[in-house]
Amino acid sequence: MTKPESLFLVNAASEPAVRSEFVTVDGEPYICIRHVDQLDPFLMSVVSDSDHWLFVGSNSPFTAGRIDPDNALFPYQTVDKILCHPDTSGALSILLVRKGSRWALWEPWQASGRIYRIDRHLYKHIYGASLIFEEINHDLGLRFRWNLSTCEPYGFVRECLLERLGDAAPVEVRYLDGWHQLLPPGVDQETFARLSYLTEAYMRHECVDEGSLGIFTLNAAITDRAEACESLRAACAWSIGHAHPIVLLSKRQVPAFCRGEFVPA
């Protein structure tokens, strides 16, 4: 496989106007903000019927957890840090798209996506129970949409859909998609804010053989005392819908994927 080449475009057209409208998605009512990226980023909350809490930036990053900030599954941060860094915790999606003999790198909802002619739309359920982020890439002829919600039995749920636009030419796609900066239990708000580097040294990430289940734990409870202190809880993440997934447990392999190289588990 050849290395992906970025597609640089010069678009002199004026930016599309922001507008809102009520729409129906999969039989559910949503309010949609078309071209939401023309607005300054803002923070939203997603409600749940249990003890989940979820705060999401309109430019896609989020923080989430159960009960309180000390039980965060994604780092609990102030709104300025969330909105100013779209590549921080939350979801990560990277696509390599082949059209003809050339590969193009597409990172939906990231700043690099601006090299393409794109439209970004945000949908929020009228009851506040879910969000949908949609990016339409007119140059590659693709639409990428992902939904974020909560579910008492399974926690936080993300559903993704990639589809070809109308009469666009067929393409070949390699994709890397999943959660980013998932925290194990035992990392409270103060510990992560003050000792994030030390926290990473305590983390242990594992993958169940022949499956897509990732298990995130601490080797031991974080303490500066010379004593045994076990950590017996775990955070888990898994995916369905992939025939033969290669599971990555860190971001170290991401640059290699972006270069079009083979990425081992």
Same domain for 128 and 202, yes or no, is: no
Tell me, yes or no, whether 125 and 99 share the same domain. yes
* In a shared domain, residues 176 and 224: no
Boundary-marking domain end, from 181, 197, 232 = 181
Same domain, 170 and 81: yes
Show which of 135, 152, 181 is a domain's final residue: 181
Q: What is the domain extent for residue 265?
A: 182-265
pTM, to two decimals: 0.88
The number of distinct structural domains making up the chain is 2
Per-residue pLDDT tens, the chain, 265 aa: give them. Answer: 556 655 544 454 567 899 999 999 999 999 999 999 999 999 999 999 899 999 999 999 999 999 999 999 999 988 998 999 888 889 999 999 998 889 999 999 998 888 999 999 999 999 999 999 999 999 999 999 999 999 988 899 999 999 999 888 889 999 999 998 899 998 888 888 887 778 888 888 888 876 788 999 998 888 777 777 888 899 999 988 888 888 888 888 899 999 988 887 6
Instruction: Tell me, yes or no, whether 176 and 217 share the same domain.
Output: no
Same domain as 252, residue 145: no
Question: 84 and 123 share a domain?
Answer: yes
Q: Are residues 146 and 223 in the same domain?
A: no
CA distance 254 to 264: 11
Q: What's the pLDDT at 156?
A: 95
Domain boundary, last residue among 161, 181, 201: 181
